[in-house]
Amino acid sequence: MKNFYSHLIEIDSIILELDKMDLSKEQKQHLADILDSSLHHTILDAVLSELNENDKKIFLRNVDEGINAKIWEFLNGKVEHIEDKIKKAAEDLKLELHKDVREAKKHD
Amino acid sequence: MNFTSTKPHFENLRKKWIIRHRNIQQNLWDKHKESLTWLGKNLSPKKLVLGSLGGLMLLNSPYQSLSGGVHLAQSKPGILEGFDQNVLLASQLKEVMPEDVRPLDKKEEIDILNILSRDLGIKASAELAGIRLNRNYGLIGGEQHLYRYPGDNLQAHADNSADWAKYGGSGIAPGLGAWGYFTPSKEAFSEKDKQRERYYLAIQTFLAPGFAENVGRYRDFFKFRKMIVINPRTGQAVVAVIGDAGPAEFTGKHLGGSPEVMDVLGLAGGPRKGPVLYFFIDDPKDTIPLGPIKVNNLG
């Protein structure tokens, strides 16, 4: 089962950067998990920020049920261009993470 | 013991990403507190996987897509998986905490203790056996490791290279703790002694009201007395024991924490100090383990 936003966001570019670093498998996994969780919370924030309190609860309940079609039907009915907003939030985060990777490589 | 070399680039990136992750979580909570609290109360606890490792529960889960294929954001079984619920504790404390780092008044003390008892499932107390500390809210500073038995050394404190990388740099204090060695010999050194040094506090026991008149009784009471310490800004909390007396008043700090304690509290970086709450734990049967402690339910 994928997250409702999985089809919108790729994190290959960051994973590839991690692959280029001198890291053990466990260390890569550790960093990838932080990345994954950061992305998850960023996207939740991006979506919730577009909804009123009542709609936030409906959305969270939908996510909890894990029926992606239901989630998108709801979001598309409530927020214009929600996919673009999710992509934008993810891209902004990825830019920051890429910057962190570049700086970390200086410590190689 | 020889340790493998650490990787500064990994440590650099890991620290940055953990801080960023925590900020993202905090931001999420600050902006959507009402709906997230509602969610917490309306989902089964099993779905709200509690945080660990300083709030990054996901760090313990496998990342299936690390190698091969296109990496898409993966699903998680619970909406708040990875959400450190100790953030909720921080949010609750924020409502009753004073803005300044000062001794608590009685009402603040009661309100805070009620929150801690409820969220952490422990019996925390400002007074035990008629003994109180000079304060329960103050600035904690990072301490060094302590010698645990005659012949102990810094490297022996680390179980592995990760331990060494995280805590070795703190060094070891030249003198012994207030109670001397944790155990009289290496042969007698036990897991309990090890945990006590890992999670020890230096407390200004000498400033406790009545100390001068009851030195012997107070010393026995304070020796390895179990305490809970909480970073009220993040909700990170640790159970530790009093392993030393200090710091001196002129330092401006009110207590000290071992390298491991500071790490659990999220205060191991930068100036290695910050405001914390600290209370006795009433645990006569010694059932509460030392180390990080997590919120056990949503308030």
CA distance A9 to chain B (A): 6
- Model confidence pTM above 0.80: no
B76 with B200, same domain: the answer is no
Q: Chain A window 48-77: which residues touch B at a Cβ cutoff of 8 Å?
A: 48-49, 53, 56-57, 60-61, 63-64, 66
Task: For residue A97, list chain B residues with Cβ-Cβ distance below 8 A.
Answer: 17, 20
Q: Return the H-helix or E-strand segment holding B178.
A: none
B99 with B218, same domain: the answer is yes
pLDDT above 70 (res B2): no
Percentage of chain B with pLDDT > 70?
Answer: 81
pLDDT above 70 (res B124): yes
- Inside any domain, residue B2: no
Instruction: Identify the domain boundary among B25, B56, B87.
Output: B87
- Inside any domain, residue B273: yes
B77 with B182, same domain: the answer is no
Query: What amino acid occupies position B203?
Result: I
A95 Cβ under 8 Å from any chain B Cβ: no
B31 with B151, same domain: the answer is no
The confidence score (pLDDT) of residue B278 equals 98
B236 with B262, same domain: the answer is yes
Q: How many CA atoms lie within 13 A of B263 on its CB side?
A: 20
B57 with B138, same domain: the answer is no
Q: Which CATH number is B270's domain given?
A: 2.40.40.10
The confidence score (pLDDT) of residue B77 equals 43
DSSP 8-state symbol, A62? H
- What pLDDT, in 10s, does the model give residues B164-188? 777 878 888 888 888 999 999 999 9
CB contact under 8 A, A15 and B59: no
HEC sequence for B48-94: CCCCCCCCCHHHHCCCCCCCCCCCECECCCCCCCCCCCHHHHHHHHH
pLDDT above 80 (res A67): yes
Do residues B235 and B87 touch, judged by C-beta distance below 8 A? yes
B51 with B105, same domain: the answer is no
CB contact under 8 A, A31 and B12: no
Q: Chain A window 13-32: which residues touch B at a Cβ cutoff of 8 Å?
A: 15, 21-23, 25, 27-32
Of A15, A34, A97, the CB nearest to B56: A34
B205 with B262, same domain: the answer is yes
pLDDT above 70 (res B296): no
B14 with B128, same domain: the answer is no
Mean pLDDT of B180-199: 94
Do residues B268 and B262 touch, judged by C-beta distance below 8 A? yes
- Quickly state the pLDDT bin for B82 (edges 50, 70, 90): low
Q: Chain-wide mean pLDDT for chain B? A: 81
Task: For residue B87, list chain A residues with Cβ-Cβ distance below 8 A.
Answer: none
The confidence score (pLDDT) of residue B76 equals 42
Mean pLDDT of A90-103: 93
Determine which of A7-16, A22-31, B158-167 has the lowest per-residue pLDDT on average.
Answer: B158-167
B207 with B71, same domain: the answer is no
CB contact under 8 A, B14 and A36: no
Instruction: Identify the domain boundary among B53, B87, B121.
Output: B87
- Quickly state the pLDDT bin for B74 (edges 50, 70, 90): very low
pLDDT above 90 (res A85): yes
pLDDT above 80 (res B84): no
- Inside any domain, residue B74: yes
B111 with B140, same domain: the answer is yes
- Quickly state the pLDDT bin for B66 (edges 50, 70, 90): very low
When divided into structural domains, chain B yields a total of: 2
Cα distances (angstroms) measured from residue A48 to each of A35, A53, B8, B30: 20, 9, 37, 12
pLDDT above 90 (res B55): no
DSSP 8-state symbol, B32? S
- What pLDDT, in 10s, does the model give residues B218-263? 999 999 999 999 999 989 999 999 999 999 888 899 999 999 999 9
B72 with B95, same domain: the answer is no
Find the domain containing B269 and state its range: 88-293
The confidence score (pLDDT) of residue B89 equals 86
Mean pLDDT of B198-203: 96
CB contact under 8 A, A3 and B73: yes
